[in-house]
Chains A and B, each alone.
Chain A
């Protein structure tokens, strides 16, 4: 009891009100949580610079006493890491571009045009969420093999462009697009395609960015499908190529961590570039939903 009284007294003496205390508490909690999320990444960085002796030391050290670039040298010199990065960029970039074009066209047609069976098509698209991706792998593989797209980037890209998530996301936003603006544009002589390209797309920049980032990250990180389709070392994406560096029978944490840092850096840059738009997209969803 006495402690509480003491604390109260202390607070009274300071020029703070309850609101400030609450805000401070909130920030402390938020930054604390953020730090928790950051910890694994810091540990990854720390491990990638450690010498073997320190990696296997019984007591963990946050800051390596001796910094080594050995693991990065192995990753950069003994592998086609540059080639793999370019491959991944091409695949993720083209996939993102195609998803944006295709999904926005589909969503526009589903929400802003009138044609019979719209609801049924939307229902089918949403229902396809229920089918796990793994179920499709065998038929998809036979299809891609029959098309002669094995070990070909198109074989990796095309199946991803038909995902339901993008359509579903954009339909939600396109539905809220005010009729009045569309009518006004029509009175001004806009064709349907102009409404799509000159009104809807620019105004929907935030959800499109969110979708772009989401697609890019998914495509960047995908492992199983490119692994099945791509059979040549020169064609690998980063996630596959980096796995081939390590040996199953010899545990090399430093090498793995350096490889992971190398693989995640480009994504980090993409996120930094797009983060404003991403935050906007989330804000819009929060207030209009």
Chain B
């Protein structure tokens, strides 16, 4: 090591400290200045959180753009990741940096009850009249009106017309009764190389939807009236589980494997006859290489009642003590506009709008999406055939034990009796 003179050292040390200091300051200044909103509480506009990606995200983007063009007050739409949306919203609320508007599923309203601005005093009956009655009443929790419904997104059964034809079925008359449904599935299983029926599109979790709709069709319930106990641990509940077990077992309509997105992949590649999926599936199915159709899922044997699983997106105003009355009013007006004015949510995203006037508009009724799927969904909504899952503060308390056991039943690892009683036991011990 060469021996540096003291003078060199001193210069180098100063240089070093200077460099470190400058770089540090520059770095921090860069960080602090690189954000337009600074601390992000959106003083100049309406801070609006959504969880929509894909086609839904594009539709919402164009709605917000249209609002911003027509109004002086601007909406700052912040797209949040879907999976962590509710956790993030919760942290933001407890950290005191709540947005002015947020998308909340109806099923989550109970959990956010204390954190949302009640709208009762801010809106009158004429506002309520603008929405479809059944959706409006489904998005109410107790006495509080906490949010305005944007849509409803029920589940239906989508089918591949090519496969129907190959199986010797009439592709233009989908099954309407449970006998016709069984015959169709049997025909597909026997006459083609494809699977006949996927009761879930994405994985174990969505098995809940088919289980729930079939359960309600036979008059069963998931939870008791005050949501303190499982109510599906009955003969009916076990029979519905047995039906699902037969789909992947005895009847050979599907294979007993649960893996992520298996059914959606199979359906999109033309390897699955019928799939349970929601309104949002329209765009995807329309892009496929084959013709598809959709029918009402009222096919459970002995099902005296006609119900399908449904949920809604709503727009709510999270509580914020720092927000002025004027700002709250502005946020509310934006929420009313978003749920009432643009027809984009129906025409582009394929959900069933909650607004009466949009539903009756020619713009929506002339679209393909209306003809192929939305009209059927609309009929179900008009006939009060939408079943919303019981809302409790933590939905996972009953959803997780139920779907995990349903998945075991579907994979033929557990008998329906065992799986259902396991699920009920777990749920009861959590809810108590």
Contact = CB atoms under 8 A, between A and B. Distances in A.
B394 to A, nearest CB: 17
Nearest to A247: B54
Interface of A is mostly: helix
A150 B37 contact: no
Interface residues of A, number: 54
A253 to B, nearest CB: 8
B321 interface: no
Contacts of B79: 233, 244
A160 B1 CA distance: 36
B82 interface: yes
Contacts of A24: none
A157 B30 CA distance: 12
Nearest to B56: A247
A253 B38 CA distance: 35
B23 A250 contact: no
Interface string B18-34: 00100110011011101
Given A52-B287, A243-B81, A251 B264 contact: yes
B3 A245 contact: no
Given A52-B268, A235-B35, 12 more contacts: A57-B269, A90-B34, A145-B95, A190-B9, A193-B13, A227-B84, A233-B79, A234-B36, A243-B81, A250-B281, A250-B284, A251-B202
A197 B13 contact: yes
A56 B96 CA distance: 44
A231 B54 contact: no
A53 to B, nearest CB: 7
B4 to A, nearest CB: 8
Contacts of A26: none
B9 A244 contact: no
26 contacts: A52-B287, A53-B289, A98-B27, A141-B95, A151-B35, A151-B37, A153-B31, A154-B28, A154-B31, A157-B31, A188-B4, A189-B9, A190-B9, A198-B9, A198-B12, A231-B92, A232-B40, A233-B77, A244-B53, A246-B82, A247-B54, A247-B55, A247-B82, A249-B281, A250-B54, A252-B54
Contact of A189 (B6, B53, B81): B6
B58 interface: yes
Interface in A221-246: 227-228, 231-235, 240, 243-246
A101 interface: yes
A250 B6 CA distance: 68
Interface string B126-144: 0000000000000000000
Contacts of A250: 54-55, 280-281, 283-284
B270 to A, nearest CB: 8
B40 A150 contact: yes
Interface of A: 52-53, 56-58, 78, 87, 90-91, 93-94, 97-98, 101, 141-142, 145, 148, 150-154, 157, 181, 184-185, 188-191, 193-194, 197-199, 227-228, 231-235, 240, 243-252
B57 A94 contact: no
B58 A78 contact: yes
Given A78-B58, A185-B1, A233-B79, A56 B92 contact: no
Nearest to B2: A188
A145 B84 CA distance: 19
Interface string B386-408: 00000000000000000000000
Contacts of A251: 202, 261, 264-265
A133 to B, nearest CB: 16
A185 B9 CA distance: 12
B97 A231 contact: yes
